């Protein structure tokens, strides 16, 4: 083999190795650090539109950091969320949010906003969350407009190790009001940036 041919072969092998390593790193990053997610419904409007694509960081959650109030997270809901209508893990009480999710986890992935964490008391008044006795301003949310779940005025307490999640489209969101709090271990990660469409690109 000529010296030139040997050099070309060496360069080709090097290129293949670089591409293979790049693919491996990209897959590793998606599996453990950052994952893309497409918004499937209008439940988070006006904050996130249908078809918008966001990046979800999984690092802090994997390192043991729990979601905080205000975070927008991707998660697996309880299996009760798969039903139409959604199924609570206990008997539904009028004017009270679901306090107990079904035991099994759904294979679906949802995206919602954390509005309360373990130990908080929560009720909903005219679509606004009343957390620990204080109404929480929500300039990011669409008006509830009298839909189901707009007024759940009997307080509930969120279990330790769980989060209570609601969509920003308060009158048109299938969320914890109907299928209960979500165990933190079912949370995948926090949405931190939009990468599509171009006009919506930015850090959240």
Q: Residue holding tokens 């914890």? A: 176
Contact 55, 191 (CB under 8 A): yes
Annotation says 41 is catalytic: no
Which of 182, 183, 177, 184 has its CA nearest to residue 98?
Answer: 177
Catalytic residue among 35, 65, 106, 112: 112
Catalytic residue among 43, 106, 173, 176: 43
What value, to the nearest 5°, has the Cα angle with vertex 9 and ends 6 and 10?
85
H or E element in which residue 21 lies: helix 3-32
Annotation says 65 is catalytic: no
For 121-163, give the DSSP string.
EEEEETTEEEETTEEPP-TTSBP-TT-TTS-EEEEEEPPTTEE
**Residues recognised as catalytic:** 43, 112
């Amino acid at each position: 083999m000529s010296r030139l041919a040997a050099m070309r072969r060496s360069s080709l092998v090097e290129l293949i190795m670089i591409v293979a390593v790049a693919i491996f790193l990209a897959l590793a990053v998606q599996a453990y650090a950052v994952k893309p997610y497409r918004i499937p419904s209008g439940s988070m409007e006006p904050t996130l539109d249908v078809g918008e694509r966001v990046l979800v960081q999984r690092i802090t959650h994997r390192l043991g950091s729990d979601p905080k109030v205000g975070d927008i997270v991707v998660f697996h809901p309880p299996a009760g969320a798969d039903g139409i209508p959604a199924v609570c893990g206990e008997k539904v009480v009028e004017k009270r949010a679901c306090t107990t999710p079904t035991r099994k986890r759904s294979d679906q992935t949802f995206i919602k906003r954390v509005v309360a964490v373990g130990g908080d008391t929560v009720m909903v008044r005219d679509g606004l969350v009343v957390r620990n006795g204080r109404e929480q301003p929500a300039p990011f949310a669409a008006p509830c407009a009298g839909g189901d779940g707009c007024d759940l005025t009997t307080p509930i307490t969120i279990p330790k190790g769980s989060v209570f999640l609601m969509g920003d489209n308060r009158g048109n969101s299938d969320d914890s009001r109907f299928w209960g709090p979500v165990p933190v271990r079912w949370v995948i990660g926090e949405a931190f940036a939009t990468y599509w469409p171009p006009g919506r690109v930015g850090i959240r």
